[in-house]
Amino acid sequence: MYSKTVIDHFTNPRNMGEMKDADAIGKVGNPTCGDLIWIYIKVKDDVITDVSFKTFGCAAAIATSSMITEITKGKTLKEAYQITRTDVAENLEGLPPIKMHCSNLSADGLHKAIQEYLRKTGRTVEDLK
């Protein structure tokens, strides 16, 4: 059973769509369930000023993608990199255990986008600490 928040983010996803001028993109997938997520970020002065997503997957994958954009926007790269799958699930008021892998994907996609941005700017994750 999905929470009202999960259903809301699935039926009314926030920040959905490809960002043409993204500074970095994180792409992740789960071959077992077939979900595929792209997280796009725009960064200024190490703050994520905009974030969007494109997801092919189930209701939980879409909801977690939507939620990750909501909790990421306005955070520093360091703060955003610390967002975990648990943070995503808690902000959605829980996910069924069988769908927790979906929150892994959205958090992993965000982390990959941040890693890509850092690589492009000649830095690594270690530079965020």
Positions annotated as catalytic residues are 33, 102
CA distance 14 to 29: 20
User: Can you tell me the distance from the alpha carbon of 110 to that of 72, in angstroms, rounded to the nearest whole number?
Assistant: 9
DSSP state of 63: H
Cα 105 to the chain's mean position, in Å?
7
Amino acid at 124: T
Contact 27, 15 (CB under 8 A): no
Compute the distance between CA of residue 9 and CA of residue 29 in angstroms, rounded to an integer: 20
Residue 52, number of CB atoms within 10 A of its CB: 21
